[in-house]
């Protein structure tokens, strides 16, 4: 299953080249959870505050099954 990963803000310290215009392509087993993906990416679970799958917020036990999904990961952020 092919997916595209986008990381933002301080999560880019680990992946400085990955952004909205340059997502990271990954091939994953169908059914992998967001929590497992976060570990696979070498992040601690608490580093990722918000995970979106195709722009919709999902909990970390959400299982990825959709081909070509876009996964956006954020640390705690805010503003206004």
Partner 1 sequence: MENGYMNKWLKINLSTKEISDFNFPEEILRKFIGGKGIATHFLWNYALKLEKKGINIKDMDALSPENVLVFATGPITGTRSPNSGRHHVMALKSPLTGSIGSGNSGGKWGAKLKFAGYDGIVVAGKANLPTYLTIVNGNAELHDAQEIWGMNSLDTSNWLKEKHELKRAGISCIGPAGENLVPMAVIMNEVHRAVGRTGLGAVMGSKYFKAILVEGDAKPKIAKQADFDDKVKEHVEKLKENGVTGEGLPTYGTAVLVNIINQNGLLPTKNWQTGVNENAELISGETLTDKYLINKHPCWGCVVACGRKSKVEEGPYKLAYTEGPEYESIWALGGSTNINDMGAVVRANHYCDLYGIDPISVGSSIAAAMELNEKGFIPKEDLQGMEVDFGNADAVVELTWMAAFRQGLGYWIGEGSKKMCQHYGAPDLSMEVKGLEMPAYDPRGAKGIGLNYATANRGGCHVTGYTIAAEILGDVDRFTTEGKAELTKIFQDFTSIVNSSVNCLFLTFALGLDEYAEMIGPVTGWDVDTDELLKTGERITNLERMIINKLGFSGKDDTLPKRLLEEKMPEGPSEGQTVDLETMKQEYYELRGWHDGVPSLEKLEELGLTR
User: In the complex, which residues of this chain contact partner 1 (CB under 8 A)?
Assistant: 6, 8-10, 12, 19-21, 49-50, 52, 54-57, 72, 74-80
Nearer to partner 1 among residue 17 and residue 29 (C-beta): 17
Is the CB of residue 22 less than 8 Å from the CB of residue 4? no
Please tell me the distance from the alpha carbon of residue 49 to that of residue 75, in angstroms, as a whole number. 5
At its nearest, how many Å lie between partner 1 and the CB of residue 19? Answer: 5
Neighbouring CB atoms inside 10 A of 6's CB total: 20
Nearer to partner 1 among residue 9 and residue 29 (C-beta): 9
Which two structure tokens, joined as six digits, stand for 45? 């679970």
* Nearest partner of 52 among 65, 42, 62, 41, judged by Cα: 62
Nearer to partner 1 among residue 21 and residue 67 (C-beta): 21
At its nearest, how many Å lie between partner 1 and the CB of residue 2? Answer: 19
């Amino acid at each position: 299953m092919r997916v595209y990963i986008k990381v933002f803000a301080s999560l880019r310290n680990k992946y400085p080249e990955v952004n909205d215009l340059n997502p990271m392509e990954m091939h994953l087993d169908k059914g992998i959870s967001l929590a497992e993906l976060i570990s696979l990416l070498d992040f601690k679970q608490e580093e990722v505050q918000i995970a979106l799958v195709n722009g919709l917020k999902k909990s970390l036990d959400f299982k990825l099954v959709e081909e070509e999904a876009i996964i956006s990961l954020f640390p705690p952020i805010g503003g206004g």
